[in-house]
Amino acid sequence: MNAAVIRFPGSNCDDDALHVLGRVVGVPAKFAWHKDASLGDATLVVIPGGFSYGDYLRAGAMAAHSPIMAAVKAFAERGGPVLAICNGFQIACEAGLLPGVLTRNASLRFVCRDVHLVVEGRPTPFTSGIPAGRILRMPVAHAEGRYVHPDLPSLEASGQIIFRYVDASGSHSDLGANPNGSSANIAGICNAAGNVVGLMPHPERAAEPILSPVGLADGRSLFESARAHLDGVQRRVG
């Protein structure tokens, strides 16, 4: 398997995603430049965080129309697994790869801190190895992460809500658990086919114990799950 990390001029988590794929999880990975129209032989695509084209207009709105995104769309339509993290999630929504939209945080401020997520919804390449109900800890760092969708019940019914903000004990009720005021505490979703997953938290920042105040590496399980999926094996990773 080969991973492509999409590189927009203002991506700034591109090196981080490449590092985790290549040196932590052991998946061969390379960058795909925004001006290119091909993903080469990639079997996995990561759209990393950052500020794609400065994002002065609306996060991800311009990136959605870049040459490489046409290739990503074709890849996703063929069922290829796509992980869209933070700004990547914003871009995927703007590009129509994922439903809904990400708006300004309720606080109107950038927020950077660890959050807890509960894994739920339908199986996806990035979560099929993680037992449902598992609580993961990883950081968020964004100003526009408040997820909005016009028809939440249908999104829920189709199992497309993949991650929700919870407190450390798994409760949805704690107001402090949701860092941005996202609808229904949504932290991450997938498309109808399940192969494109977007989330605001940063699994690549939570893939090594040395970076965690509590020595966890929960983010790693998303990448491990994708590797197992592409290897065609069922493997519990979380």
* Residue 149 falls in the annotated catalytic set: no
Quick one: 218 or 229, whose CB is closer to other proteins?
A: 218
122 binds other proteins (CB under 8 A): no
Which residue, 68 or 155, is less far from other proteins as judged by CB? 68
Query: For the chain, how are helix, strand and coil distributed in percent, rounded to 5?
Result: 25, 25, 50
Q: Is 213 in the site for other proteins (CB under 8 A)?
A: yes
One of 13, 115, 197, 199 touching other proteins (CB under 8 A): 13
Neighbouring C-beta atoms of residue 134, cutoff 10 Å: 15
> 94, 144, 204, 224: which is the annotated catalytic residue?
204
Q: Smallest distance, Å, CB 168 to other proteins?
A: 9
- The amino acid sitting at 18 is L
Nearer to other proteins, 121 or 219 (CB): 219
Q: By rule CB under 8 A, what string of x and - marks binding of each residue 83-112 to other proteins? A: --------------------------xxxx
Q: Is 12 in the site for other proteins (CB under 8 A)?
A: yes
Specify the stretch interacting with other proteins by CB under 8 A; choose among 51-59, 77-85, 123-131, 186-194: 51-59
CA separation, residue 145 to residues 32, 99, 201, 214 (Å) = 25, 14, 9, 25
Distances (CA, A) of 25 to 6, 20, 219, 222, 223: 18, 6, 11, 10, 7
Cβ atoms < 10 Å from Cβ of 102: 29
Binding of other proteins at residue 19 (CB under 8 A)?
yes
229 is catalytic: no
Q: Taking CB under 8 A as the rule, does residue 141 contact other proteins?
A: yes
Nearer to other proteins, 7 or 149 (CB): 7
Q: How far is the CB of 159 from other proteins (least distance, A)?
A: 31
* Residue of 152, 237, 163, 238 lying closest to 199 (CA atoms): 163
CB 82 within 8 A of CB 95: no
Eight-class DSSP state of 12: S
Q: What are phi and psi of 29, to 5 degrees?
A: -140, 145
Using rule CB under 8 A, residue 23 touches other proteins: yes
**Could you tell me where the beta strands, DSSP code E, fall in 9-130?**
29-33, 44-47, 82-85, 101-103, 111-119
Helical (H) or strand (E) element with 140: strand 135-142
Determine which residue in the list 146, 164, 202, 227 makes contact with other proteins, applying CB under 8 A. 202
Q: Give me the residues that bind other proteins (CB under 8 A), please.
A: 9-10, 12-13, 15-16, 19-20, 23-24, 49-51, 53-56, 109-113, 139, 141, 143, 202, 204-205, 208-211, 213-214
